[in-house]
Amino acid sequence: MSRLRNLGILAAAIAAAAVAGALSSTASADRPLPAAIALHIAAGLLFVVVGLVIWTRTPGNRVGPLAIAIGFATFIDDLRFLPYSAAFTVADYFGPLQYALLAHLAVAFPGGRLRSRWDRRLVEGVYGWVLLSNLFPEVFWASALPAGPHNLLALHRDAHLHTIVGNVHQVLNVLVALLVIGTVWRHWTLASRPSRRAMAPVAWASGPVAVAIAASNSLGLVDPFGNLKAGTEYLTPAALIILPSAVLIGMLRTSLRHSAVGQLVVELRQAPSPARLRDTLAQTLRDPTLQLAYWVPQEGAYIGTDGRPVDLATVGPNVSTTLIERDDQRIAALLHESSLDEDPWLIDAVAAAAGLALDNERLHAELVAQLAEVRASRARIVEATDAARRRLERDLHDGAQQRLVGLALAVQMARDKLGATPEAQVREILDAAADQVVHALAELRELASGIHPAILTEAGLGPALESLAERAPLPVSVTVSVDGAPAPVEAAAYFLVCEALANVSKHANARSVSVCARREDACLVVEIIDDGVGGADASQGTGLRGMADRLAALDGRVSVVSPEGQGTHISARIPCALS
């Protein structure tokens, strides 16, 4: 659609340029110099083309249509070469509209909108002034009207009055131009850095244009004989041809920021730190004052990257706020220069990209925190379990076991005191009691050692595994070349071997097992290798599964390789740096 529109406008402009060129070069009277005609037409066409480019790239920006309008307005002046008085009048009267449009563009540049009330009044005033003030030199005509096309508005012929009105008009024109220049200057001083980047080329180009226009106008005042007029004919179109290029360059510099959004998305692939994200966004928006504030639900407030709360209601002057939200949830806010509001597409795109990155970052952080919490809680559970086991064993040792030994002694003494009395039944009962106590002690010993082997905490993993091997129901060789691993790591390794040996003796039908514990890097590596039937499945049975969980709580890993008929190889790695 816009492509068709653009082609139409371009065709119209070329047609208008062709007509204007043909008219101005064939006109007999008051014929301009050919080079001046060429420059004049080129400037008009250039304005239209530049306007089309800008309009296509930033459809919401009025700079495009304005530039197109200026281009077409350039050709109005050439209507005077038509053989009709009406056309001559239109050309003479509406020709200067071009300057009003130029003023409009200058005041509205680069955002395309008139931001303040003064700007709007000024532009309205300039349009009004151009249309109204032009009436006077038109109406008060100096010389006799020619036979050809002439000014239809010339009602009062008075050479003297014409000169006076003309001069006053010129002076006032200069004043209006100064007002416009002053306003643009004020815009420049207040402009943000990104705005200045766009304004700079236009500002630099406007100098020559203003000088040229002023010169061609004021020369009329000082050069009544027209000796210099030939020179000024080149001056205005030559200056005008610079201006659209400057506008285009300025707008392109702005739209470079748009392409930077693409770069931003690429850069945000890797979740950056909050400070780096702020820097990246500031760079993309070319706004070094940019602030990034995170919404922290727990605080119910926005917190800046420096960790301080940010009150969006009391931001400074010339600062605008753009909220970053995902799924109707507040995530963050961008505090940026107000001038960026002129380019809503840019700020929306940057906010969306930042939202994506922040959301990713937030989800990632949540996940990491949850994972860390799960890990920590698992480690705590294992530690608590180990502590509970140690306490239970100690309680058994200090309580039941001691009391049973005392009881055994008492029974023994009772039996001795009985001496050789004939109460054989009592002796039998006491013998049975003594026997029971000895058995109870033995069972309690096994139980206590199963709950927590005292030797593990007292003498370490090596003696504990040796002790385990001594009591195993099949040959077990133990090689331990590691000493002083953290207690939870040693406990995990010990219980893993316990579980593995129990499994081997139950299911593997193995002739022998070798157990090996050694240090590799900062890890305790435990291997249990049997020559049994193999085919063990780690996912089957709760024993090994539980061991895997226990190891995982310490960031350890266990692998079970058990091909059918080739024995089972259990291997565990437990980081020792922990705790």
Partner 1 sequence: MRIVVADDSVLVREALVRVLRDADLTVAGQAGDAEALLACVETEHPDVVIVDIRMPPTHTTEGLVAARAIRAAHPSTAVLVLSHHIETHYAMELIADGGSGIGYLLKDRISDVAEIVDAIRRVAAGQSVIDPLVVQRLVDRRRTANPVDALSAREREVLALMAEGRSNQAICQRLFLSPKTVEAHIRNIFGKFEIEDMADDNRRVLTVLTYLRRETA
Q: Name the residues that contact partner 1, by CB under 8 A.
A: 394, 397-398, 401-403, 405-406, 408-413, 416, 434, 437-438, 441-442, 445, 448-449, 454-455, 457-459, 463, 466-467, 469-478, 511-514
Q: How far is CA 529 from the centre of its chain?
A: 52
Cα(387)–Cα(250) distance, rounded to whole angstroms?
73
Query: Nearer Cβ to partner 1, position 327 or 458?
Result: 458
Rounded to a whole number of angstroms, the minimum distance from the CB of residue 269 to partner 1 is 55
Cα(550)–Cα(517) distance, rounded to whole angstroms?
17
Rounded to a whole number of angstroms, the minimum distance from the CB of residue 563 to partner 1 is 22
User: Buried b / exposed e across 28-38, counting CB within 10 Å, b at 16+?
Assistant: eeeebeeebbe
Give the 3-state secondary structure of residue 41. helix
Query: Nearer Cβ to partner 1, position 416 or 564?
Result: 416
Dihedral sign from CA coordinates of 347, 349, 353, 358: positive
User: Buried b / exposed e across 536-563, counting CB within 10 Å, b at 16+?
Assistant: bebeeeebbeebbebbbbbebebebebe
Angle, in degrees to the nearest 10, between helices 159-190 and 193-222? 160
Rounded to a whole number of angstroms, the minimum distance from the CB of residue 482 to partner 1 is 16
Cα(337)–Cα(344) distance, rounded to whole angstroms?
12
Query: Nearer Cβ to partner 1, position 50 or 491?
Result: 491
User: Buried b / exposed e across 470-479, counting CB within 10 Å, b at 16+?
Assistant: eebebebebe
Residue 80 is classified by DSSP as G
Rounded to a whole number of angstroms, the minimum distance from the CB of residue 293 to partner 1 is 55
Query: Nearer Cβ to partner 1, position 432 or 459?
Result: 459
Q: Strands 557-561, 140-141: parallel, antiparallel or unpaired by DSSP?
A: unpaired
Rounded to a whole number of angstroms, the minimum distance from the CB of residue 406 to partner 1 is 5
Give the 3-state secondary structure of residue 555. coil
At position 287, the amino acid (one-letter code) is D
Query: Nearer Cβ to partner 1, position 341 or 527?
Result: 527
Query: Nearer Cβ to partner 1, position 263 or 477?
Result: 477
Rounded to a whole number of angstroms, the minimum distance from the CB of residue 422 to partner 1 is 23
Give the 3-state secondary structure of residue 568. coil
Q: Among all chains, which residue has been given the structure tokens 């005033």?
A: 125
Rounded to a whole number of angstroms, the minimum distance from the CB of residue 388 to partner 1 is 16
Cα(536)–Cα(542) distance, rounded to whole angstroms?
13
Query: Nearer Cβ to partner 1, position 267 or 386?
Result: 386
Cα(512)–Cα(454) distance, rounded to whole angstroms?
26
Query: Nearer Cβ to partner 1, position 217 or 467?
Result: 467
Rounded to a whole number of angstroms, the minimum distance from the CB of residue 407 to partner 1 is 8
Closest CA to 344 of 432, 470, 258: 258
- Answer whether 421's CB lies under 8 Å from 402's CB: no
Query: Nearer Cβ to partner 1, position 271 or 433?
Result: 433
Q: Following DSSP, what letter does each residue of 306-351 receive, concatenated?
A: TS-EE-GGG--TTEEEEEEEETTEEEEEEEEEGGGGG-HHHHHHHH
Rounded to a whole number of angstroms, the minimum distance from the CB of residue 467 to partner 1 is 6
Query: Nearer Cβ to partner 1, position 101 or 504?
Result: 504
Rounded to a whole number of angstroms, the minimum distance from the CB of residue 443 to partner 1 is 12
Query: Nearer Cβ to partner 1, position 504 or 551?
Result: 504
Query: Nearer Cβ to partner 1, position 378 or 394?
Result: 394
Rounded to a whole number of angstroms, the minimum distance from the CB of residue 558 to partner 1 is 23
3-class SS string, 189-250: HHCCHHHHHHHHHHHHHHHHHHHHHHHHHHHHHHCCCCCCHHHHHHHHHHHHHHHHHHHHHH
